[in-house]
Chains A and B, each alone.
Chain A
């Protein structure tokens, strides 16, 4: 709201002064006084007198009346009629669309000033003519903007929902569609008003607008031009008034649009993942060196309210040829952890602590140059949405070949041949033909196979797959999971699988890390954790899966926002077993190959 009052106050003041002009103690704006012609200052005329000795301040204020009346009236007429036509054209399509939209396109073909000149010449100058001309000129803009917005709004579910409730068309258009197109229309109003003020002044300047002696800003500029060398200030005042009015209008419309937009989003901090590693939290492993060893990974993001930690003290180990799954609800920080390990954190996020060793080399402290060499080489990543991860304008075969050549110096022909072999390797039938296809010509499952082909192009030792099958149908998911398992077995890769599906974890992974609100709450071998979950959250999550005969049970509440985490156990507010002891942060305890972060795990599993 704060952004609104300032421009609103300026616009309000300008309009108020113009509206109250007859009541203000001003001199008659048309009374001439040749004796004081071009006087810089006369008592009662702080801005001086013009070429006929008329009071400049009075003319400025009375001029605002005609300038603003023309601008607002024409913008309002154009907005109402144009938005209505755009709404109808966009909603009914067909003939209405042809008439409204193509009609508007015809008007757009005329140069605006020429059109204005033509109409004014035909109808004669005057305020009424000006309003007519300007309304017609601004009409197409409103039709176009509202038409485009209606087209995108009418496909939305919430419009379909109101239609499904049996609302009549006028109700749908006015109550549902109109508020959703109001933002762009308001911006268009601001542009129209501002440009109408300028055009009015221009036409009046040319003698085609407001008829003298009625004051208007355009006429004042016209008059002042003739005496520019004797009295330059006369030019300044109307120009200044024009500039301030236009700027204030633009500011106001921006602010109104922001306030009218109830979609939110600006206020709540966006969840970003920042990983930090706190070395030494875990006892140094005596076992042989694992493929990937993550300890104390903590990611921080600075937000307006302070610092949030979307990943807090994450640790796990992955051996070559094995699969580790990271599970958790939305907002648990699992994807951010993966991007931190890959060195792909968004700019706002940074690793605050921890280590992530790939074959003993700390990924988090290595120069970006060295890490780039590893990415797509020794470590690779597959994302959830293959459509947005593939470049739509290049053939998929070329993209796979590019992935090869980014890391190895091979001739183009050899890279292409390898790309076809890789596509075959990931189970794409007829790989020679498919290599020449563009991403949109492939199904979702095939695109994901292409992504996997790119990821394994340089025989990575570590593959991180972030929800690789979430967007796919179950039968396709099954095929992709089988492919990943096969590649891991045959190439000896380590696979980190990030997923929210416990069923997928149970079928594919050997080890599991359960994350909740940025922390590891439980970790261990999948069979052990799923058969004997120690943490109440793991238990609740398993009970929510509808696989078994028991009625699935939900977990009350939602994952809290990163800036609202409870000081103690973060799951406590949703936990059926929470007690006073849960108000202090529980440590991660190691028990028989499993790790659990719960102060009551012993009594609860007894």
Chain B
């Protein structure tokens, strides 16, 4: 078996302040992350605001050009954004956004928007495109009679279905879903999550599912990586990470997630202080300023991801063995 569909090696993204008068340090949104997504696999990325999870998604899609490290898709390095090869590759990757309102163009019919990918990447006739469009609408649970309607005629959940249909119109191999259900009511969330799970199974999609909602990731994904301030804190199969969270940050995150069932609740660990600024991250372990297990040596080197418990479960904490 060859390498996974998407491979990121020590990928890095710094945003420099823009403009002639701009001052200050660059913001390192993603700082040396390794990630792979195999064909048909769903990888969850969890973390809070400023963890760099959305940036990582755009790096893997090639929408942003990494300022360090490399991303390979299907064995090939990602081409430069905007080049012909890059544009051709768009047909094989899709993205679903968080905001069901801002991600659709209010002034074009939904049919025209979902059709865009086909019009750009195929030579199909209008009738053939229409046939594929109808099929895609049925697949995501929308009425194909409404191809000519405008986005404002649809509810939030239906719009997310439209966003999914648009991303999947060219039958891509890889889908990045950036908080696709965070803006939806819980009753609608479950429908959309179910649809994504079905599509992934039926189409053999590789998926990167970005979310701050850990229970959803647990249901939808095979593996998960937990990010904090641009770095991976912990990664592994969802069952293992959720059953035995081993990085202090993962534990704090899980313990903070409100749970219906009192039996599932972990002892609440409130993180002290405020998240550090990404322009000036702490030395060594970036989590150490808020970690109750921190020691002076945590400030010295960036802790590498090490195997913990099993080969697939890895934790970036030098004290993982002591504290677990």
Q: Which chain A residues have a beta carbon within 8 Å of chain B's beta carbons?
A: 156-169, 171, 175-176, 179-180, 182, 260-265, 329-330, 429, 443-446, 473-479, 481-482, 500-504, 506-507, 530, 540-548, 551-556, 558
B152 near A165 with CB under 8 A, answer no
CA distance A477 to B94 in the complex (A): 32
What are the residues of chain A within 8 A of B167 when measuring CB–CB? 161, 164
Contact indicator A541/B271 (Cβ below 8 Å): no
Nearest CB on A from B93, distance (A):
7
Query: How far does the alpha carbon of A502 sit from the alpha carbon of B97 in the complex, in Å?
Result: 25
Given A474-B212, A544-B186, does the pair A552, B219 have CB atoms closer than 8 Å? yes
A166 near B90 with CB under 8 A, answer yes
Q: Name which of B250-258, B295-303, B306-314 contacts chain A.
A: B250-258
Report chain B residues within 8 Å CB of A165: 90-91, 94, 116-117, 120-121, 166, 170
CB <8 Å contact, B150 and A264: yes
Q: Is the CB of A548 within 8 A of B261?
A: yes
Produce 1/0 per residue, B46-78, CB < 8 A to A. 001100000000000101000000000000000
B98 CB, nearest partner CB in chain A, Å: 8
Which of A182, A530, A540, A558 gathers most chain B CB within 10 Å?
A558
| Contact partners of B213 in chain A: CB under 8 A | 546
For A553, list chain B residues within 8 Å (CB): 190, 194
Task: Using CB atoms, name the residue of chain B closest to A429.
Answer: B273
Q: Known interface pairs A160-B97, A263-B152, A507-B259. Does A166 touch B190 (Cβ–Cβ under 8 Å)?
A: no
Interface-centre pick from A161, A169, A479 (highest chain B CB count, 10 A): A161
9 additional A-B pairs beyond A158-B104, A161-B95, beta carbons within 8 Å, are A157-B99, A159-B105, A476-B48, A501-B186, A503-B257, A546-B219, A553-B194, A555-B190, A558-B157
Whether A262 contacts B194 by the Cβ 8 Å rule is no
Nearest Cβ in chain A — how far from B278, in angstroms?
12
**CB-based contact A547/B261 at 8 Å:** yes
Instruction: Give every chain B residue within 8 A of A179 (Cβ-Cβ).
Output: 105, 107-108
Q: What is the minimal beta-carbon distance from A503 to any residue of chain B, in angstroms? A: 3
A530 / chain B contacts, CB cutoff of 8 Å: 260
A164 to B103, CA, bound (A): 12
**Top 8 nearest A-B pairs by Cβ distance?**
A166-B90, A503-B258, A554-B191, A264-B152, A554-B190, A478-B256, A157-B103, A555-B187
Contact across chains for B270 and A478 when beta carbons are under 8 A apart: yes
- Taking CB atoms and an 8 Å cut-off, the chain B residues in 131-150 that contact chain A are 150
Chain A nearest CB from B189 CB (Å) reads 7
Q: What residue of chain B has the Cβ atom nearest to residue A504's Cβ?
A: B258
Residues on A with C-beta less than 8 A from B320 are none
CB of B251, distance to nearest CB on chain A (Å): 11
Q: Write the chain A residue with the least CB distance to B149.
A: A262
The answer to the question of B268 belonging to the interface, with a C-beta cut-off of 8 Å to chain A, is: yes
Which residues on the B side are within 8 Å of A443 (C-beta)?
274-275
CA distance A162 to B89 in the complex (A): 14
The answer to whether residues A554 and B61 also contact, given A263-B106, A547-B264 and a CB cut-off of 8 A, is: no
A163 contacts B63, C-beta separation under 8 Å: yes
Complex contacts, B187 vs chain A, CB 8 Å: 329, 540-541, 544, 554-555
Residues of B with C-beta under 8 A to A182: 107
What are 22 residue pairs bridging A and B, where the CB atoms are less than 8 Å apart in the complex?
Answer: A161-B95, A161-B97, A162-B105, A165-B121, A166-B87, A166-B91, A260-B107, A262-B150, A263-B107, A264-B152, A329-B186, A330-B185, A475-B48, A478-B258, A479-B270, A500-B186, A506-B261, A540-B187, A544-B190, A552-B216, A558-B157, A558-B188
> Across the interface, do A502 and B152 meet the contact criterion of CB distance under 8 Å?
no
Across the interface, name the chain A residue whose C-beta is closest to B90.
A166
Cross-interface CB contact of B120 among A167, A501, A502, A544, cutoff 8 Å: A167
Contacts of B188 in A (CB 8 A): 329, 554-555, 558
**Are A180 and B107 in contact (CB-based, < 8 A)?**
yes
CA distance A553 to B166 in the complex (A): 24
Kindly identify which residue among B185, B265, B270 contacts A329, using a CB–CB cutoff of 8 Å.
B185
Whether B111 sits at the interface, judged by CB under 8 Å, is no
The answer to whether A158 touches B105 (Cβ under 8 A) is yes
Give complex CA distance A164, B157 in Å: 22
Find the A residue at minimum CB distance from B150. Answer: A262
Chain B 142-173, CB within 8 Å of chain A: the 1/0 string? Answer: 00000000101101110000010011001000
A507 lies within 8 A of B274 (CB): no
Q: Which residues of A contact B113 (CB under 8 A)?
A: 158
A482 pairs with B270, CB closer than 8 A: yes
In the complex, what distance in Å separates the CA atom of A261 from the CA atom of B108? 10
**A contact residues around B91 at 8 Å (CB):** 165-166
- Contact partner, A474, options B82, B170, B253, Cβ 8 Å: B253
Q: In the assembly, what is the distance between CA of A543 and CA of B194, in Å?
A: 13
Smallest CB-CB separation from B184: which chain A residue?
A330
**Nearest-Cβ distance from residue A529 to partner chain B, whole angstroms:** 11
Tell me which residues across on chain A come within 8 A of B116, comparing CB atoms: 162, 165, 167, 175
Q: Are B252 and A500 in contact (CB under 8 A)?
A: no
Which residue of B is nearest A559, CB measured?
Answer: B185
